[in-house]
Chain A
Amino acid sequence: MQLEFKKVYPVFSWSWDIPGDDDADREIGDEDLCGICRVSYNGTCPGCKYPGDNCPLVIGECNHNFHVHCIQQWLATPTAKGLCPMCRQQFSLKRGVAINEGQVEKLANLLLQPRPAALAADDQDMMMDQEFAVR
């Protein structure tokens, strides 16, 4: 039998490279959701439409992960007192982790800035567990 390829549709999937994510002790369920908006890490915060670089994930020194927009919005509230929502330790970005690069300055400047207006609550966060088809 001879096969002839007419067309090829490569399909790629992606996910954030979270250190320690392969650990066997990882619990199923809540573990893959942003602790603030409860949307998958690979999805977006409620204010964003496209996941990925436009709505990055960050990892705290305490090993709790959030969409950068979610944790920024939280840290900008007076109630936050700079604390991680999950463990109430002072929140800071974990050093030497690839996905935190580029976010460090944003978060460092945060407490100096006035609180941003609430994000528009669009129903645009329907894109969970994306798979991008490339044609």
Chain B
Amino acid sequence: MASLPKRIIKETERLVSDPVPGITAQPHEDNLRYFQVTIEGPQQSPYESGVFQLELFLPDDYPMEAPKVRFLTKIYHPNIDRLGRICLDVLKTNWSPALQIRTVLLSVQALLASPNPNDPLANDVAEDWIRNEDAAIAKAREWTQLYAK
């Protein structure tokens, strides 16, 4: 295996020494490009008090290519589909090598605080969200209680 680029080592060290509040990211023992991530649901969002598990993988071309991030915990959110895939511009077309693991995870946390049903990935969820926002938020809260522990 090729050795780990210094940038990844630095980022990993900083994630441990100076963690982002509400976010943890730990590299896998056998593969230092694979991280187990937890994100706390933001306060005053339907995901409040939930702890969501994610996986993050740094492809060989990182940082020229964005990290791959996916929810492992089931979540009811218009921009996250049932496979946990996330619709977020900085993970796709708006990626920049000036971004880092921590900034990407902050963006994901911000997406939990502000769901955007007008740019959906999970179409059925987005439709529910637009049709009856209160009911959708209640369901998101319910799923948080059920799955994000």
Contact = CB atoms under 8 A, between A and B. Distances in A.
Contacts of B63: 36-37
Contact of A125 (B2, B6, B65): B6
Interface residues of B, number: 19
B16 interface: no
A46 B5 CA distance: 7
Report whether over half of chain A's contact residues are helix, strand or loop; otherwise say mixed. Answer: loop
Contacts of A120: 2
Report whether over half of chain B's contact residues are helix, strand or loop; otherwise say mixed. Answer: loop
Interface residues on A, range: 20 to 34
A79 interface: yes
Contacts of A70: 97
A35 B98 contact: yes
Given A118-B61, A121-B2, A79 B95 contact: yes
B3 A123 contact: yes
A39 interface: yes
A121 B5 contact: yes
Nearest to B96: A85
B6 A85 contact: no
A15 interface: no
A86 B5 contact: no
A74 B97 contact: yes
B64 interface: yes
Interface of A: 35-39, 46, 70, 73-74, 77, 79, 83, 85-86, 88, 118, 120-123, 125-126
Given A37-B6, A83-B96, A126-B6, 6 more contacts: A37-B7, A46-B5, A77-B61, A79-B66, A85-B96, A121-B4
Interface of B: 2-7, 10-11, 60-61, 63-66, 93, 95-98
22 contacts: A35-B98, A36-B63, A36-B97, A36-B98, A37-B6, A38-B6, A39-B7, A46-B6, A70-B97, A73-B64, A74-B64, A77-B61, A79-B64, A79-B66, A79-B93, A86-B96, A118-B60, A118-B61, A120-B2, A121-B2, A121-B3, A123-B6
